[in-house]
Structure 1
Amino acid sequence: MSQKFIPLSVPNLKGRELEYVTHAVETEWVSTGGAYVDEFEKKTAKYVKAKGAVSCQNGTAGLHIALQVCKITKENEVIVPTLTFIAAVNPVKYIGAEPIFMDCDDSLTMDVDKLLEFCETECSFMEGKLINKRTNKHIKAVLVVHVFGNMANMEKIMDIAEKFNLKVIEDATEAIGTYYLKGKYKGKYAGVIGDVGVYSFNGNKIITTGGGGMIVSNNEEILKRAKHLTTQAKSDELYYIHDEIGYNYRMTNLQAALGLAQLEQLDTFINVKKENYDLYKEAIKEIKGLTILTFKDNIRPNYWFYALYCDEKYPLNRDEIIQYLLSKKIQSRPIWGLINDQRPYLSSQTYKIEKAKTYLKHVINIPCSSNLKKEDVLYVIECLKHPEKV
Structure 2
Amino acid sequence: MTVIDSTISFIKEQYKSQNFIPLHVPHFGGNEKKYLLETIDSTFVSSVGAYVDQFEIMMQGITQTQKAVAVVNGTAGIQVALRLAGVVKGDEVITQALTFIATANAIVYNGAIPVFVDVDLDTMGLSPTALEQFLVENAELREDGAYNKNTGKKISACLPMHTFGFPVHMDALLAVCTTWKIALIEDAAESLGSLYKGKPTGSLGKLGVFSFNGNKIVTSGGGGAIVTNDVSLGAKGKYLTTTAKVPHAYEFVHDEVGYNFRMPNLNAALACAQLEQLDNFLDNKRKLAKEYESFFAANGINFRTETPETKANYWLMCVELENKVERDLFLETTNANGVMTRPIWQLMYRLPMYAHCQKDAQHNAEFLEERIVNIPSSVR
Q: Distance in 2 between matches of 1:328 and 1:351?
A: 39
How much does 1:2 deviate?
8.2
Matched, 1:214 2:230: no
Give the alignment of 1:217-228 within 5 angstroms. Answer: 217-228=228-239
- Tell me the residue number matched to 2:13: none
Cα deviations by residue, 1:260-286 (Å, 9 ceiling, x for unpaired): 010011111011000101100111012
Shift of residue 163, structure 1, vs aligned partner = 0.5
Partner residue, 1:379 = none
For the pair 1:175 / 2:191, whether they are aligned, the reply is yes
Between the two proteins, the alignment pairs up a number of residues equal to 363
Aligned residues: percent identity?
37
1:136 corresponds to which of 149, 152, 161: 152
Q: Is 2:374 the counterpart of 1:362?
A: no
What amino acid is aligned across from residue 234 of structure 2 in structure 1?
L
Counting only pairs closer than 5 Å after superposition, residues 84-99 of structure 1 correspond to structure 2 as 84-99=99-114
Flag the 1:229–1:4 CA change in 2: closer, same or farther, 3 A: same
Query: Distance in 1 between the 2:218 and 2:247 partners?
Result: 34
CA distance in 2, matches of 1:295, 1:325: 25
> What are structure 1's unaligned runs of at least 5 residues?
182-186, 372-390
Residue 351 of structure 1: aligned partner:
360
| Cα RMSD, aligned residues only | 1.4
The equivalent residue for 2:39 is: 24
Task: Confirm whether residue 339 of structure 1 aligns to residue 348 of structure 2.
Answer: yes
Residues 79-127 of structure 1: per-residue CA shift (max 9 Å, x gap): 0100000101111111111111011111101111010111112111122
CA contact (8 A) 2:322 2:371 kept: yes
Picking from 58, 62, 66, the partner of 2:81 is 66
Matched, 1:306 2:317: yes
Match runs of 1:159-198 below 5 Å: 159-181=175-197, 187-198=198-209
Q: Is the 8 A contact 1:11 1:369 kept in 2?
A: yes
List structure 1 runs of 4+ shifted beyond 2 angstroms: none
Check if 1:200 corresponds to 2:215. Answer: no
Q: Which residue of 2 is the match for residue 121 of structure 1?
A: 137
Higher mean C-alpha displacement, 88-97 vs 192-201: 88-97
TM-score by length of 1: 0.91
- Give distance in 1, aligned partners of 2:357 and 2:178: 25
Asked if 1 retains the 8 angstrom alpha-carbon contact of 2:79 and 2:106, the reply is: yes
* Alignment check: 8 A CA contact 1:128 1:164 kept: no
Equivalences for residues 103-122 of structure 1 within 5 A: 103-106=118-121, 107-122=123-138
Letter of the 1:9 partner, please give it: H
TM superposition shift of 1:47? 1.4
Instruction: Extract unaligned runs of 5+ from structure 2.
Output: 1-15
Aligned to 2:131, the other structure's residue is in SS state helix
Mapped to 1, the partners of 2:195 and 2:130 lie a distance apart of 24
Cα deviation per residue 1:237-260 (whole Å; 9 max; x = unaligned)? 421110011111000111000000
Q: 1:180: Cα distance to partner?
A: 2.4
Are 2:280 and 1:268 aligned?
A: yes
Displacement after TM superposition at 1:355 (Å):
1.0
**Is the 1:291–1:308 contact (alpha carbons within 8 Å) kept by the matching residues of 2?**
yes
